[in-house]
Amino acid sequence: MSKRIAVVTGGTGGLGIAMCEALCDQGHTVIATYYPSPETEAQAKECQESMKAWGAEVLLYPLDVSSFESCQNFITTVEAEHGPVDILVNNAGITRDAPLKRMEHQQWQDVIDTNLSSMFNMSKLVFNSMCERGWGRIINISSLNGEKGQFGQANYAAAKAGIYGFTRSIALEGARKGVTVNAVSPGYIDTPMVRQVPEKVLNSIVEGIPVGRLGKPVEIARAVAFLAAEDSGFITGTNLSVNGGQYMS
């Protein structure tokens, strides 16, 4: 297997760490991004150390995926220091939940900018280079709630649903150039964020999952690594739902 340059946005969260480890296992040079702030800087360093102890060498870079200028600066730096990006995992995302009647415009815009516009910001900057080199993998992380909707998440569900149209469209553009573009839609995964949900609510969620449990971060990471593999070149424009059977389409 060739050693590739892989970028995972939001790479220091519960899912991002597992994705970085899985791509390291494939022998790639892995770069994880995190939103720049004093709090996230410390968290990112902690994540890097834990991954290093596990045996994964992951490089860290600050990045605001909602800003095209920030993404431009990041890609320019990565290309200068490591070479062109071969694998891009668009994983960064936020929530700003509220029922529509109480949702502020800024809550809508923040989620659209971070969860959907970021797909354009990052993919735009690596897609042409991938096509010119004749190989590339773009994997966009959507969500179960992008497939079925969710009360109080009109902004989040809209952004995550928009990922499917974006994925299929650029998959068509890159297909004859050796560039595949796919989506992965996680269900409810056992991460620190999900564990903050009140126990009664969490139990109700688990009861609605046919396999009877939360997913594991490594199960999402396996899906990402599968789509990133050298021999996955015949899979493009698709969505891989990893949700324990909670939503079937």
pLDDT at 123 over 90: yes
Task: Indicate which residue of 34, 35, 61, 156 is catalytic.
Answer: 156
> Domains in the chain and their CATH numbers?
5-236 (3.40.50.720)
pLDDT surpassing 90 at residue 40: no
Q: Average model confidence (pLDDT) for the chain?
A: 95
Residue 179 pLDDT more than 70? yes
Given a cut of 70, is residue 1 above it in pLDDT? Answer: no
156 an active-site residue? Answer: yes
Question: Which DSSP symbol is given to 49?
Answer: H
DSSP notation for 114-155: IIIIHHHHHHHHHHHHHHHHT-EEEEEE--HHHHH--TT-HH
Q: What is the pLDDT of residue 47?
A: 78
Distance in angstroms (rounded) separating the CA atoms of residues 162 and 197: 26
- Residue 150, judged by CB atoms within 10 A of its CB (0-12, 13-18, 19+), counts as middle
Q: How confident is the model at residue 57 (pLDDT cuts 50, 70, 90)?
A: confident
- Give the C-alpha separation, 159 to 141, whole Å: 11
How confident is the model over 137-166, as a mean pLDDT? 97
Residue 197 has pLDDT above 90, yes or no: no
Q: What is the spatial distance between Cα 46 and Cα 44, in angstroms, rounded to a whole number?
A: 5
Please compute the mean of the pLDDT values over residues 140-162 and round it to a whole number: 97
* Interval 192-205 mean pLDDT: 88
